[in-house]
Structure 1
Amino acid sequence: MNTLPQYNFEGVGFYASVVPSLELLPVYRFYNTIAGGHFFTISEAERNFVQANLPQYVFEEIGFYSYGADANLGADVYRFYNTIAGGHFFTISPTERDNVINTFPQFIFEGVGFEAGA
């Protein structure tokens, strides 16, 4: 934390598993070499598209396991794309989701990416 003073620690964002189970799906992790951040998707089709068409995203395998976007077993994790920075932003907070939608037009709301433990 001392080497990145521009970041403020806000606590745990959400809980996920590093162990697969029948209820959990793999969440694929990519590193965006241009924006310098990580992108996560639970969709195999989206994973395949990114691997085939977006060379700035380095596939880092499965990041963790979580519930599907429509599972109704956890809390929604909302996904945004920042059109200026070229990276993604994730939040579990409906209040933060609404604030970003209403305040920051450069963030495109992409819906629920997956569900996680709150």
Structure 2
Amino acid sequence: MSDQPENGAKPPEIDPDQGHQVFIDLLEESGFFKQIHNLEENLKVIAEELKSFGENARDRMAETENLAAHVLALESILSVMLKTYPISADDLKAEIKDRTAALTGQEDGSPTVQALALDLLDKTKK
């Protein structure tokens, strides 16, 4: 391969002191700097979206902690009540079955709800 253009003309002589400017001019003509600018703008948008996601995650965490605090408060109240007014485990299981069987599609109802409720009931008997 030859360094000469196809039409046989010699490439223009480049002043060594101006080589960097020629390179920059070629990059400008090729649209390279515009692509970099567009990439930078897109990265700024992505950064803002990630910041928003982070803020939303933090808010959801605070809401989850608040919900957990409410559940623990209600469990505490219920524990005190169950010590004064005990109930049978069989009655509790039947109530859980009635309330959760249709929701879970399981004949005996939600095993998770049952385990949590029976654990709470067991703790009140100690």
TM exceeding 0.5? no
Length-normalised TM-score, structure 2: 0.22
**Structure (1 or 2) with the greater strand fraction:** 1
Length-normalised TM-score, structure 1: 0.23
Higher RCO, 1 vs 2 (CA within 8 Å, ≥6 residues apart): 1
